[in-house]
Amino acid sequence: MRALVIYDSLYGNTARIAQAIGAALSAEVHPISEVKAIPTKLDLLVIGGPTQMHGIDQPLKNFLIKLSGQTVEDVAVAAFDTRYHWPEFLSGSAAKEIAQRLEENGAHLVAEPESFFVDGKEGPLSEGELDRATQWAGQLARVRVSV
């Protein structure tokens, strides 16, 4: 399976989650600043970022705007974020906005958007979140193989 994990990270927490997901998927992992185009013939694209002001931050927003429908059309995708461990109506969810934008471009969402939690503005990640990211990636791999 050819998988790619793309992320934005402000304090390093989202990067750590992305690396855990990438390792579990044997995927390439890149910050959005290094991605100029989405490769063709991907089996799975995973995109994540920090939740800022109830949604995605500006660099990730700009990146998603640049994606054309042709780039992700019919590609299996999953979205994740990092955020405070608050009820979603208080914190928002970048993952849900990422998933919505990808689906609007014709991508096929293979899992519900997932949030990983931090204990403060700059982190650290809450206990067990790296393990949970690895488990989530395993679920993505199983879903993608069965599709």
Query: Six-digit token pair at 68?
Result: 């054309």
Region 66-95 average pLDDT: 86
- Positive/negative CA dihedral, 89, 110, 47, 20: positive
Q: CB–CB of 104/62 below 8 Å?
A: no
Over residues 18-71, the pLDDT tens digits come to: 999 999 999 999 999 999 888 888 899 999 999 998 889 999 999 999 887 778
Place of tokens 């991605």: 35
The residues spanned by each domain of the chain are 3-146
List all residues 6 or more positions away from 58 whose beta carbon is below 8 Å from its beta carbon. none
- pLDDT at res. 54: 81
Over residues 93-107, the pLDDT tens digits come to: 999 999 999 999 899
**How far apart (Å, rounded) are the C-alpha atoms in residues 82 and 135?**
16
CATH superfamily of 3-146: Flavodoxin domain (3.40.50.360)
